[in-house]
A and B are shown apart, each in its own frame.
Chain A
Amino acid sequence: MRLVRSRTTQASVWRTLAPLAALLAALAFLAACSGDDDKSQPTSPTAVPLEHVTFMAGFKPQANLPFVGAYIAQEKGFFAVENLDVDIQHVTTPGDNFKFLATGEVQFSTADAASLLEKRSGDPPLDLVSIALIGQRGQQGFAVPANSGITSPRDWAGKTAGYKGAQVTPDYLAILAAAGVDRSSVEEVKVGFEPQILTEGKVDIFPVFVSNEPDTLRRLGYETRVFEAADYGAPTLGLTYVTTGDFLRQKPDVVRRFLNAVLRGISYADAYHAEAIDIVLKYAPMEQREHQLYMLETELEAAKAGQAEASGFGRQTREQWQKLYDFLTQYSALPGPIADISTVFTKQFLGE
Chain B
Amino acid sequence: MMQANATQRIMKAFIAYVLPPAVALTVALLLWEIWVSWRDVSIIVVPPPSAVIERFFEEPAFFWREGGYTLYEATLGLLAGSAFAIALAVLMAHSRLAERTLFPLAIVIKVTPLVAVAPVLVILLGFGTAPKIIVAALLSFFPTLVNAMTGLRDVNPGALQFLRSLHASPWQVFWKLRVPSATPYLFAALKVTYPLALIGAVVAEWFTGDRGLGLVIFVANSNLDTPTLFAAVGVLAITGITINVILSLLERRLLFWHQSTRSVQ
The residues of A with any CB-CB pair to B shorter than 8 Å are: 60, 89, 92-93, 96, 99-100, 195-196, 199-200, 216-217, 220, 222, 284, 286-288, 291
Least Cβ–Cβ distance between B109 and chain A, in angstroms: 21
A22–B209 Cα distance when bound, in Å, is 47
Interface residues of B in 206-234 (CB under 8 A from A): 207-209, 215-216, 218-220, 222-225
Let me know if B123 is at the binding interface, CB within 8 A. yes
Residues of A with C-beta under 8 A to B223: 216, 287-288, 291
Q: Which of A96, A220, A284, A286 contacts B119 (CB 8 A)?
A: A96
The interface-forming segment of B15-23, B40-48, B71-79 is B40-48
A217 touches B224 (CB 8 A): yes
The number of chain B residues touching the other chain, given as a range, is 20 to 34
Residues of A with C-beta under 8 A to B225: 288
7 more contacts with CB within 8 A, not counting A92-B208, A195-B224, A199-B42, are: A60-B218, A195-B44, A216-B223, A216-B224, A284-B219, A286-B216, A291-B223
The residues of B with any CB-CB pair to A shorter than 8 Å are: 42-45, 119, 122-123, 127, 207-209, 215-216, 218-220, 222-225
A284–B42 Cα distance when bound, in Å, is 27
Q: Is the interface of B mostly helix, strand, loop or mixed?
A: helix
Residue of B nearest to A222 (CB): B44
B122 touches A196 (CB 8 A): no
B224 touches A99 (CB 8 A): no
22 CB contacts below 8 A, A to B, read A60-B209, A60-B219, A60-B222, A89-B127, A92-B119, A92-B127, A92-B207, A92-B208, A93-B122, A96-B123, A99-B123, A195-B44, A196-B42, A199-B45, A216-B224, A217-B224, A220-B224, A286-B219, A286-B220, A287-B219, A287-B223, A288-B223
A286–B207 Cα distance when bound, in Å, is 16
Cβ-Cβ contact count across A and B, 8 Å cutoff: 47
Residue of A nearest to B225 (CB): A288
Residue of B nearest to A103 (CB): B123
Residues of B with C-beta under 8 A to A99: 123
- Considering residues B127, B216, B218, B223, which has the most beta carbons from chain A within 10 angstroms of its beta carbon? B223
Least Cβ–Cβ distance between A222 and chain B, in angstroms: 8
Residues of B with C-beta under 8 A to A291: 223
A195–B226 Cα distance when bound, in Å, is 13
Residue of B nearest to A92 (CB): B207
Residue of A nearest to B118 (CB): A92
- Considering residues A99, A196, A217, which has the most beta carbons from chain B within 10 angstroms of its beta carbon? A196
Residue of A nearest to B208 (CB): A92
Q: Which of A60, A92, A286, A288 contacts B122 (CB 8 A)?
A: A92
